[in-house]
């Protein structure tokens, strides 16, 4: 799935309860992160729940694997992977996350703690 498809799916739903359920469903579809990558060095600081983020450089693009112990956060990770996984460094740096939040509606419906955790994941990717 690409970002345009993700945005269209969110736009089809009027109720935020449905959108939250969609986020949870996205999280359930995440690829399994190997247990050997769930180490302290991969824990994202600033997240309320436990989030592991492994970033590798594949030639010009970054390969990202992530997981969390919280269902909604796993859904946010799915969005993060749609936005950033297998993208070049310049593509990653050009993503306007504030615009993404506005388009999807996360700015209005995501708790400040989850937003801060999501931004901590993005900062870690951009700083890589």
Instruction: List the catalytic residues.
Output: 47
Q: Look at residues 1, 88, 77, 87 and name the one whose alpha carbon lies nearest to residue 32.
A: 77
Orientation angle between helical segments 71-84 and 97-104, nearest 10 degrees: 120
Q: Give the whole-angstrom CA distance, residue 6 versus residue 1.
A: 7
Query: Taking the alpha carbons of 120, 71, 2, 57 in that order, is the dihedral positive or negative?
Result: positive
Residues 6+ apart with CB under 8 A from 67: 30, 32, 33, 38, 51, 52, 74, 77
């Amino acid at each position: 799935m690409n970002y345009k498809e993700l945005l269209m799916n969110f736009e089809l739903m009027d109720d935020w309860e449905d959108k939250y359920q969609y986020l949870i469903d996205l999280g359930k579809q995440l690829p399994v992160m190997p247990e050997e990558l769930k180490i302290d060095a991969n824990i994202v600081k600033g997240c309320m729940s436990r989030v592991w983020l492994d970033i590798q450089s594949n030639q010009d693009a970054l390969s990202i694997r992530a997981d969390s112990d919280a269902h909604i956060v796993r859904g946010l990770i799915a969005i993060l992977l749609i936005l950033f996984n297998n993208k070049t460094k310049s593509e990653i740096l050009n993503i306007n996350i504030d615009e993404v939040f506005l388009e999807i509606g996360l700015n209005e419906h995501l708790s400040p703690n989850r937003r801060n955790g999501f931004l901590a994941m993005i900062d870690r990717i951009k700083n890589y």
